[in-house]
Amino acid sequence: MPQPVSTVRIVGYGMTALGKLGRSASELMREALQKSLRSAGLQMKDLDGLVAVPSLSHPHFMEAHYLATQVGLLPHRGPGSVRVRTIDTGGAGPVSGLLEAARMVKDERCQAVAVVAGDAVSSLATPEFLARADQGCRDPENSLPSPCIPHGYDQVAQWQLRQGLLSREQLAMVSVLMSRQAAKHPLALTRKAHSLEDVLRSRKIAPATNLLECARRADGGAAIIVASSNFMDEYMGHDLVSSEDGVSSARLGPVAATGGLVVLGGGEASGPLYPPEEIDESMFSCEAAAASAFSEAQLLPEDLQWFGLYDCYPICFLRALEACGVTPKGTAGAWVEEMFWKTESGYDAGDFPINTHGGLLAFGAPWEVPAMYNIIEACEQLRGTATGRQVPSVRRALVYGNGGIFSHSAVAILAQPV
């Protein structure tokens, strides 16, 4: 009998609280992993793959092996084998991890793979955070001033300002928009929408970047479970629980029970680790990553109803709008301004179906974790469970993760099961 065609699905997801939590990155990873397993209805022993993203606050040699050993996945004692991989593509890590997990399911015949990220950068004192963050992003040839990351993004923002493609206000409007979205999400750190003046008058961090235009540092962990639909149907279908009245039902968790979310396609591309002295289009990679994802999914931007775009700084979000086909090249500034006015005095979620959780600028940004929030929010939107911020009729969604200073892009397209 030929096997029915299997699809790769996200069958579980979970996250910890966000904030200044005083807990280690590993603790946060473990809690997120347990929550994601519960939402799939799986147990640790059901996993035969684990992908982890390293943390800045509590780094470990071979992070995924460290975590797998802590949670008892290694040493492996059952039948078959377990594959464990650490992926470091910076903030793109969770989406790179999702795509790696999908390959492990498709090509290496894994049945269920967890992708886990966690960090505690809010609990790190600022000088220590900056020492570690600057070290990774400082080009010995062309030293960026500290804080290096905001200054690196600022150089790109200034380059686009000089080209006349944007205004300073349009950059700030991105932060206002993200705070309006965050105010509708119960777990977001930013509880109240900023005014444009709040953003423009907040402390200057770099020439065209103020404090409220920086990714909002946080501690937090998040995880997803990626599995083959065959495994969920067959293996879990056999694992029946009998209730008192004799009726049997599979013990699938709430996400898996509705079929999970299908991974339709993905793409990745890389740029230089540091912004070159002369910035030009060759340093950016989101365009190529998005083009691969659309090609693999055989879709166009207009086929999608929701977008989770990386927004560590407004310029990253603005470039992503164009790279992912939300708006044509050269028009992102004007598009954001239009959204700013459209959402000024109350709006429906469908009016602005992007980062309905508030993104890095307003939901919270535990270093390499936040792209996982894009994935989780995409899942909530696709399942119709984004209470208070649900975009109507979301059937397909795009998620984008960005690492370093535009140094790596990973894009995935997710869909409801047919």
- Residues lying near ligand CAA in the complex (CB under 6 A) are found at 90-91, 126, 147, 149-150, 190, 205, 211-212, 214-217, 312, 361-362, 365, 367-368, 403-404
Please, which residues have CB within 8 angstroms of residue 4's CB and are 6 or more apart in sequence? 230
Nearer to ligand CAA, 116 or 312 (CB): 312
Minimal distance, residue 214 CB to ligand CAA, in Å: 4
Nearer to ligand CAA, 152 or 267 (CB): 152
Instruction: Name the residue number minimizing CB distance to ligand CAA.
Output: 90
Nearer to ligand CAA, 135 or 243 (CB): 135
Minimal distance, residue 403 CB to ligand CAA, in Å: 4
Structure tokens at 244: 């008192």
**Residue pointed to by tokens 């400082």:** 138
Nearer to ligand CAA, 104 or 205 (CB): 205
What single-letter amino acid sits at 412?
A
Nearer to ligand CAA, 16 or 407 (CB): 407
Nearer to ligand CAA, 131 or 241 (CB): 131
Structure tokens at 271: 């740029």
SS3 243: coil
- Cα distance between residue 348 and residue 335, in whole Å: 17
Nearer to ligand CAA, 264 or 361 (CB): 361
How many residues are there in the chain?
Answer: 418
Residue 96 contacts residue 292 (beta carbons within 8 Å): no
Minimal distance, residue 90 CB to ligand CAA, in Å: 3
Minimal distance, residue 375 CB to ligand CAA, in Å: 15
Closest CA to 376 of 58, 116, 112: 116
What single-letter amino acid sits at 368?
E
Nearer to ligand CAA, 343 or 416 (CB): 343
Nearer to ligand CAA, 46 or 119 (CB): 119
Q: Residue 133, by phi and psi: left (phi above 0), alpha (psi -120 to 50) or beta? A: alpha
Which residues lie across from 208 on neighbouring strands? Answer: none
> For the packed helices 168-182 and 314-323, what is the interaxial angle rounded to 10 degrees?
90
Residue 129 contacts residue 147 (beta carbons within 8 Å): no
Residue 48 contacts residue 66 (beta carbons within 8 Å): no
- Cα distance between residue 401 and residue 317, in whole Å: 11
Minimal distance, residue 48 CB to ligand CAA, in Å: 29
Minimal distance, residue 313 CB to ligand CAA, in Å: 7
CA distances (Å), origin 119, targets 19, 21, 30, 378: 11, 10, 11, 21
Nearer to ligand CAA, 134 or 234 (CB): 134
Beta strands 396-403 and 408-415, pairing class: antiparallel
Minimal distance, residue 10 CB to ligand CAA, in Å: 22
Minimal distance, residue 408 CB to ligand CAA, in Å: 8
- Cα distance between residue 110 and residue 47, in whole Å: 8
Nearer to ligand CAA, 259 or 401 (CB): 401
Minimal distance, residue 191 CB to ligand CAA, in Å: 10
- Cα distance between residue 240 and residue 175, in whole Å: 48
Minimal distance, residue 87 CB to ligand CAA, in Å: 12
Taking residue 20's Cβ as centre, other Cβ atoms within 10 Å add up to: 14
Structure tokens at 308: 């989770």
- Cα distance between residue 358 and residue 155, in whole Å: 24
Minimal distance, residue 304 CB to ligand CAA, in Å: 23
